[in-house]
Each structure stands twice: as C-alpha cells, then as structure tokens.
Amino acid sequence: MRNLTLLLALLAPLATACTDDPTTDELELDADASAKADGAAWYKLYTCNGGQAVLDVNGNERRNLQLVIRDANIIKFFNDRQIVQSHYGDTELVMSGWTGNVDFGAALGPVLHYQPYGGPGIFNRLDFDHTELIANANYYNGGLFIRVFRDGSGIKTQAGQIQNTWCGATDTYCPGDGYDCQTYCTEQHTEFVEKANWYFNDCY
C-alpha cells in the first residue's frame, strides 16, 4: 500500500504538467458555426476583438478553416472594396478555405500555395503560427484571394492577388504540320498586389 501511495505521489506532478501544456488545450466548440447544412463541427481557434471575428477549424478536416466576421462595419468595408458580395441582410461574412501560405521568398516573386491536400492540419493554436488560412481562392481561374494569418498578438486579414509583372526569358515551340510557332514565357516574374486589409489586434 505504501508503494502505491509513493507511486501516485510521483505521478501527480506529471499529470499536472500535461494539463498545463498550451499545445494540448481542448478547443471550444463554436456553436454558432456548427450543426449547419454542412454538418461539420467547427472549433474556435481564436476570438478577436470581443467577438467581431472568430477563427474556426473544421473538426472533421483539420486543414479546413474559416474566419467568421460578425461586425456589420467590417462586413461593409470588404463589400465596399469589392472583396466579397454579401447578400442583403447577411449578418456574417465567412472567409473559408484551407491551410497554405504565400511564399514571398520565391526567386521570381510571390507564389501561392493553397492546395488542401498537403497543407498542415490545425489541432491547437500554436499550429496556426506556422501557416495561413487561404480563403476564397479559385484554383482554376486564379484572381483575388484572402490571406488570414497571425500578426503579433492579433490576426490580419489581407485580400489581394498575385499578378504577372515581367518575363525574364522565353522559349518557342513549333508543332509543325502548318501550325504557327508559339512563344511562351519560361521565367515569369510576379508581385502581390493588396486590395484591402483588416487587422484584429486582440485575439485570444
């Protein structure tokens, strides 16, 4: 009996240490976002500026995230700048997408990485420090997309697009059989052009 008591006394600090680890904190269910048409259970990663916005992760697919904005002035801001097109009477703006990032260090200019399969899963808050939510992106047509990422103690939402700037080298392909030769760019340089941004400075 004395050995059992001694063993429990030794294990007690380890149990306490595990529950204090921020990487294993249980995420709170976002009841306002869950149990809707998609049937997903959404868990809160961050609540910003007293509920103006909530960043959620899909409990069934941890690479799937959404930023839900519930402030009428912010919703109007993004609509006025033609980033989104809300329906009349909407009280929420949902920016939905997948983990990914914009690689600003690429040799020819920024490159967008946002394919859903290959991005990291988000299981706790610290995971989001190393990736971004790439929302409202069109894989086939490119164009405007939204980055949501950690910035200091807050979260920044940045809308923009990657545009081609100048071509560093070209090549020519001649298929023959009477078809014209085609010249194409082999070193296309790019730049990121921002359209609008909003900073939530207090996220917890």
Tokens of 84: 């989104």
- Mean pLDDT, the chain, rounded, equals 87
What is the pLDDT confidence band of residue 117, given thresholds at 50, 70 and 90? confident
The answer to whether residue 106 scores a pLDDT higher than 50 is yes
Tokens of 69: 């904005």
Residue with tokens 């949501």: 148
The candidate with the shortest Cα–Cα distance to 99, out of 124, 139, 66, is 66
**46-98 pLDDT, tens digit each:** 999 999 999 999 999 999 999 999 999 999 999 999 999 999 999 999 999 99
The C-alpha angle with vertex 67 and arms to 66 and 68, in degrees rounded to 5, equals 110
The answer to whether residue 153 scores a pLDDT higher than 80 is yes
Q: Where are the alpha helices (DSSP H) in the chain?
A: 2-19, 72-80
The candidate with the shortest Cα–Cα distance to 72, out of 84, 59, 89, is 89
| Non-local CB neighbours of 117 within 8 Å, separated by 6+ positions | 63
> Per-domain residue ranges for the chain?
26-164+193-200
157 vs 36: which has the higher pLDDT: 157
H or E element in which residue 101 lies = strand 93-103
21 vs 120: which has the higher pLDDT: 120
